[in-house]
C-alpha cells in the first residue's frame, strides 16, 4: 500500500524485499496538502460527495484550523475547558453542565 514512502530515504525497510511485498520503495514521500487544499476538497464534498472525505468535522469550522501545520491534532485548550466545565458542573450540581444523570 506504499506506506514505506513516508520512511526516511535511508531506512532499511525501504529496500527490504523479504518482509513486505517483494519490492523496493524508491519514491519520495508526497507533499502533504495545505489547509487551503483541504478546504477546497471539503467544499467539493458538499457539492458532489466525491473525494477522500466522508464527512466534515466540526474542527474544520475553527477559524485557525486551515493555518495549523498539524490539522489532525485536537485543540487541547478547548478539550481542557470542556472537561473542566463538566467536572465542576457535576461537583456543584450546575444545571446543563451536570454529567451525573440517568443517560450518562
pLDDT for res 74: 67
Average pLDDT, the chain: 80
| C-alpha cell read off for 31 | 507533499
Q: Do 6 and 14 form a contact (C-beta atoms < 8 A)?
A: no
Exposure string for 43-65, b = 16+ CB within 10 A, e = fewer: eebeeeeeeeeeeeeeeeeeeee
pLDDT for res 81: 83
The better pLDDT of the pair 90, 24 is held by 24
Question: For 16-34, what is each residue's pLDDT tens digit?
Answer: 888 788 888 889 988 888 8
Looking at residues 50-73, what average pLDDT do you find? 77
pLDDT for res 93: 77
Cα separation, 23 vs 26, whole angstroms: 10
| Residue 51 banded pLDDT, cuts 50, 70, 90 | low
* Listed residue (23, 70, 18) closest to 3, CA to CA: 23
DSSP 28-81: PPPPPPPHHHHHHHHHHHHHT--SS-SS--GGGGSTTGGG-S-TTS--HHHHHH
Q: Do 7 and 1 form a contact (C-beta atoms < 8 A)?
A: no
Looking at residues 87-98, what average pLDDT do you find? 76
Share of the chain above pLDDT 90, in %: 2
Count the Cβ atoms, other than its own, within 10 Å of residue 32: 10
pLDDT for res 50: 65
Looking at residues 78-83, what average pLDDT do you find? 81
Amino acid at each position: 500500500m506504499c506506506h514505506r514512502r513516508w520512511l526516511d530515504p535511508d531506512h532499511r525497510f525501504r529496500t527490504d524485499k523479504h518482509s513486505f511485498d517483494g519490492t523496493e520503495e524508491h519514491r519520495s514521500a508526497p507533499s502533504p496538502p495545505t489547509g487551503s487544499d483541504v478546504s477546497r476538497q471539503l467544499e467539493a464534498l458538499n457539492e458532489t460527495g466525491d473525494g477522500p472525505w466522508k464527512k466534515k468535522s466540526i474542527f474544520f469550522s475553527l477559524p485557525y484550523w486551515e493555518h495549523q501545520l498539524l490539522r489532525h491534532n485536537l485543540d487541547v485548550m478547548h478539550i481542557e475547558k470542556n472537561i473542566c466545565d463538566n467536572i465542576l458542573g457535576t461537583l456543584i450540581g450546575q444545571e446543563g453542565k451536570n454529567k451525573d444523570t440517568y443517560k450518562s
